[in-house]
Amino acid sequence: MSKAYNPYEDMLEVLEKAAKMLGLDEKDYEALKYPERELKVAIPVEMDDGSIRVFQGYRVQHSSSRGPCKGGIRYHQDVDIDEVKALAAWMSFKCAVVNIPYGGGKGAVKVNPKELSKNELKNLTRRYTAMILPLIGPETDIPAPDVNTNAEIMGWIMDTYSMFKGYTVPGVVTGKPVEIGGSLGRKEATGRGVMFMTREILHRLGMPIIGAEVAVQGMGNVGGTAARLLHNEGCKIVAVSDVSGGVYRRSGLDVNEILSFLSSDEGKLLKDYNAPGIVHITNEELLTTECDVLIPAALENQITEALAPRIKASVIVEGANGPTTVEADKILERNRKVVVPDILANAGGVVVSYFEWVQNIQSLMWDEEEVNRTLEKIMIRAFNEVWEKKNEKGTTMRMGAYMVAIDRIVKAKQIRGIFP
């Protein structure tokens, strides 16, 4: 019997292993096992029918050693504190691996936003922002979109914070609408980064990108953009899925047609999509599809110990945070699968968040070409550093990425010392 999944314990196990491989003393990384701060809030919302519902919310700051805490806010009915703590720690490692001057944080509200009206969602967001206000700010902790949150919600956060301050503070949040200080290219940034990382790994492995068969789990912002951009690079997208299940076509799917179908109406799902030669599959069938590259871009805990032995892709590029459990990862390593780990593969989003924050602080506006070019440079630099570390220590890319990240955070901590 495998033990119940706990993302925080998985995070600790990987941290421990990488720190040992780096030859660190326990005292060097002891503090990284715990978040610096955790805030839990109860958010009352007046619903449209006049009733009151109280939602559970969190903001966790894992580390501020390398700069302000940075990380998204997710709205999901299943979130709990251990998930938010793990996600916050993964943000610290992610920002360190791409070497941007941030620590890590994460926020969440336990809610299924699809059950709320627009007005209820806005009230929930504004009240949540007011309740985490003591923690956030452009110099302390900067939220961004994550699962089920978007630019519009970030706009409400920016406005609420600014109303309390008495002046407009664009840099308190990233992933905002472009009209109020958002960055060009931010929306596509995570998916674009996944595309760059897929391109780099295929190149390293001597596998041609043209015609490479790709399966993508999740057709949200990350999976949808990655599928579209990889299709443009010449990959054959053979399977995609969303919460309702997936679609498969051996000769390749028409990604643009699928994306316009999904965006044609609020709540459109793949189970209702049809085209000649399409086979409807489950999410489990998608993950075990015959293909070259598998991109899990949905939630944590998808590639489990039970599923990992059946994965046929030779390369896995983690678009989601924590899609592979620790036990599953050991099986993938044994089966010689190459995994580009989440903290590297999906870092494109936070990298362009960093550009957005820099633009806000300087009151500058970059054009999209500059954003995409600088993103590519940072992502490729990080990929190469991880690849070198992996080769130097004869280990996996995940361990390589964690070693690069932990080394940077520990060094920052040592240089600063412990107060008082």
CA distance 8 to 301: 12
Q: Which is nearer to ligand GLU, 247 or 401 (CB)?
A: 401
Q: Is 130 exposed, middle or buried (0-12, 13-18, 19+ CB in 10 A)?
A: middle
CA distance 341 to 320: 9
Q: Tell me which residue has its CB nearest to ligand GLU.
A: 72
Contact present, 201 and 340 (Cβ < 8 Å): yes
Q: Name the segment binding ligand GLU (CB under 6 A); options: 45-53, 210-218, 326-334, 346-354.
A: 346-354
Contact letters for ligand GLU, residues 58-87 (x by CB under 6 A): ------------xxx---------------
CA distance 212 to 309: 22
Q: Which is nearer to ligand GLU, 238 or 382 (CB)?
A: 382
Q: Hey, how many other C-beta atoms are within 10 angstroms of the C-beta on 215?
A: 28
Question: Site for ligand GLU (CB under 6 A): which residue of 64, 92, 129, 174?
Answer: 174
The answer to whether residue 187 is catalytic is: no
Q: Which is nearer to ligand GLU, 36 or 146 (CB)?
A: 146
Q: Which is nearer to ligand GLU, 70 or 127 (CB)?
A: 70
| Least Å from the CB of residue 122 to ligand GLU | 20
| CA end-to-end span of the chain | 46
Which residue among the candidates 70, 85, 94, 106 is catalytic per the annotation?
A: 106
| Least Å from the CB of residue 117 to ligand GLU | 25
| CB-based contacts of 79, cutoff 8 Å, min separation 6 | 58, 108, 109, 110
Q: Which is nearer to ligand GLU, 218 or 331 (CB)?
A: 218
Contact letters for ligand GLU, residues 138-157 (x by CB under 6 A): ------x-x-----------
Question: Site for ligand GLU (CB under 6 A): which residue of 160, 283, 321, 359?
Answer: 321
- Residue 2 Cα distances to 13, 276, 326, angstroms: 16, 41, 11
What's the one-letter identity of residue 236? K
**4: DSSP letter:** P
- Tell whether residue 170 is a contact of ligand GLU (CB under 6 A): no
| Least Å from the CB of residue 346 to ligand GLU | 6
317 closest CA partner among 391, 226, 419: 226
- Residue numbers of the site for ligand GLU (CB under 6 A)? 70-72, 94, 144, 146, 174, 321, 346, 349-350, 353
Where in the sequence numbering do the catalytic residues fall? 106
